[in-house]
Amino acid sequence: MVFTHSLPLVPAPVSATAGEGRMPITVTTRVLGSSPAATQLIEAVERRSGIRLSRADASPADIELRVDPAVAAAEGYTLAVGDRAVVVGADEAGLFYGVQTLLQLLREDESGWGVLRAEVQDAPRFSRRGVMLDVARHFFDVAEVKKFIDSTSALKFNHLHLHLSDDQGWRIHIDSWPLLTELSSSTSVDGHLGGFYTKDDYREIVSYAAERHMIVIPEIDLPGHTHAIGVAYPDLVEAPVLNDGLVSESARLGQPLPVAGEIYLGWGVGHSSVRIHEERTYEFVRDVVRELAELTPGPYIHVGGDESLGTPQADFDLFAERVTAIVFEEGKTPVAWHEMGSAAEIAEGTIGQYWGKTTPEGTHAEEAVHFVERGGALIMSAADVTYLDMKYSEDFPLGLTWAAIIDVRSAYEWEPTAVLDVPDAAILGIEAPLWSETTRTLSDVEKLVFPRAAAQAEVAWSPKEAPDRVWASFRERLGSLAPLWKAEGVDFHPADEIPWSER
């Protein structure tokens, strides 16, 4: 098979032509540009090669970075590397992504460091390209979240969904309900160390993400996955409902069952619910949403909605309608897992996040489609292809298998618009979640996320029909990322499917 180019780029650009040879990178190479992307480029080249590029005051320079809205659609860019390199972004985000492409072209050979000569025109297929980090099952501190932002934004992801609460812990300080972090944040799954973000911590994460053109979406999971709320405020939650699946799975794993008012150290699901018919519950929800909205410049607040197995359906639907309305009233757009689509009067414009399988089961498709019928749209997170916490193989030491075993090829070969019967325009894009039941450290996270996040990045960014948008091309290009990831300290899994490059 012949591909349109042999450039080692992931995700594949809209168009790219490889030139002959390389543009040398040395200590005399100068960068022109006032954008923050110029500083990010200089720092990244130094981390990768040890070479500190200098600044140019005026054109011509060896590397020129600028913004021109005429060159591409939003977030797009052009890149030309010959005797000099010019990256032009349609906006600051496009310039940032153009710099990420330039960094993928930076290579070392016998003659030293250089940038492969190329012509690239590029813009994203989907506006929504997300990853999720579960900091509730296991907590990750500010520095770890920043590193996760660095490595995922480099693949042109532009949304970071933080799963801030679950049965095991509450991870964001709320002034009006201070016991949430005082009593419900100290531990993680299996009794591992917990933690939480102060408001300044959270602002720091949001600011750092914004510098890399990533929107942070905070999630407070409701009305289920709420055992930790009950540890702090028992009057807000119902007694645990011990379903058969929870009991058998807890026994198999040797994990405790949930006990009302006590910190929960297992990872079973479906046993918790807030009290749907108590007005104090909605006072709590409104306070939390208001404080999160004040901290979050992005347009979204995620209100959960998954696996509320202990909540009667009518109660669940009532809650879905009220909580999504509250988010709109506080000036944000609600996002909810697809189950909340069961509510007939879910707030108009709510965005649904579909985590069912690529072949929908039960009522999942019907629930998801209802978001579109109510004037909303969908984010595709089909669990059997996008869930980064699933194992690569049966014997992989990290991850779970309930959705699927997902090797790199399975993560790559799926189509977001082919899962549900909705117009293509109703699909905002994709999100690849990392649930943290088995990931105790950031290294554990990275082994599960990389390289499969690169597959999801290409699904979200690259044209559906591009000649290089095929597995045979992708696996070769993916292998070329190994030197870059090693230089950045990303502890990726060297999957056997991929021919990993040394330089």
Q: DSSP string of 380-421?
A: E--HHHH-TTB-SSTT-SS-B-SS----HHHHHS--GGGSSS
Phi/psi at 222 (nearest 5 deg)? -145, 160
Tokens of 16: 């790219």
Q: Strand 165-166 relative to strand 169-170: parallel, antiparallel, unpaired?
A: antiparallel
Q: Strand 77-81 relative to strand 112-122: parallel, antiparallel, unpaired?
A: antiparallel
Q: Please tell me the distance from the alpha carbon of residue 382 to that of residue 9, in angstroms, as a whole number.
A: 25
pTM score of the predicted model: 0.97
Q: What is the pLDDT of residue 4?
A: 42
Tokens of 420: 């549900």
Between the two ends of the chain, the Cα-to-Cα distance in Å is: 24
Is the preceding omega at residue 178 within 30 degrees of 0, hence cis? no
Q: What is the pLDDT of residue 248?
A: 96
What is the SS3 assignment for 79-147? EEECCCEEEEECCHHHHHHHHHHHHHCEEEECCEEEEEEEEEEECCCCCEEEEEEECCCCCCCHHHHHH
Going residue by residue through the chain, which has 503 residues, state the pLDDT in tens, using 9 for 90 and above: 333 447 999 999 999 999 999 999 999 999 999 999 999 999 999 999 999 999 999 989 999 999 999 999 999 999 999 999 999 999 999 999 999 999 999 999 999 999 999 999 999 999 999 999 999 999 999 999 999 999 999 999 999 999 999 999 999 999 999 999 999 999 999 999 999 999 999 999 999 999 999 999 999 999 999 999 999 999 999 999 999 999 999 999 999 999 999 999 999 999 999 999 999 999 999 999 999 999 999 999 999 999 999 999 999 999 999 999 999 999 999 999 999 999 999 999 999 999 999 999 999 999 999 999 999 999 999 999 999 999 999 999 999 999 999 999 999 999 999 999 999 999 999 999 999 999 999 999 999 999 999 999 999 999 999 899 999 999 999 999 999 999 999 999 999 999 999 98
**Domain 15-122 shares a fold with domain 128-465:** no
Instruction: Produce one character per residue of 159-191: b if its CB has 16 or more CB atoms within 10 Å, e if not.
Output: bbbbbbbbbbbbbbbbeebeebbeebbbbbbbe
The three-class DSSP label of residue 21 is strand
Tokens of 118: 């190329």
Closest listed residue to residue 64, CA positions, set 90, 34, 93: 34
| Four-residue CA torsion sign, 327, 338, 307, 445 | negative
Q: What is the CATH code of the structural domain delimited by 128-465?
A: 3.20.20.80
Q: Please tell me the distance from the alpha carbon of residue 242 to that of residue 410, in angstroms, as a whole number.
A: 34
Q: What is the pLDDT of residue 93?
A: 98
Burial of 7 (0-12, 13-18, 19+ CB in 10 A): buried
Residues in the chain: 503
Rounded to 10 degrees, what is the CA torsion of 162, 332, 225, 163? Answer: 0
Q: How many CB atoms lie within 10 A of CB 150?
A: 18
Identify any residues that bridge with 433 across adjacent strands, giving them in sequence order. Answer: 132
Is 361 noted as a catalytic residue in this protein? no
Where exactly are the structural domains of the chain?
Answer: 15-122, 128-465
Which residue is catalytic, options 204, 307, 366, 497?
A: 307
Q: What is the DSSP letter of 251?
A: H
| Four-residue CA torsion sign, 340, 343, 347, 348 | positive
Tokens of 44: 């990244």
The top-level CATH class assigned to 15-122 is alpha beta
Upper half-sphere CA count for residue 495 (Cβ side, 13 Å): 27
Tell me the CA distances in angstroms from 125 to 5, 97, 134, 251, 491, one per residue in order: 19, 14, 26, 45, 28
Upper half-sphere CA count for residue 238 (Cβ side, 13 Å): 22
Residue given tokens 């591909």 in the structure block: 3
Q: What is the pLDDT of residue 59?
A: 86
Q: What is the pLDDT of residue 5?
A: 47
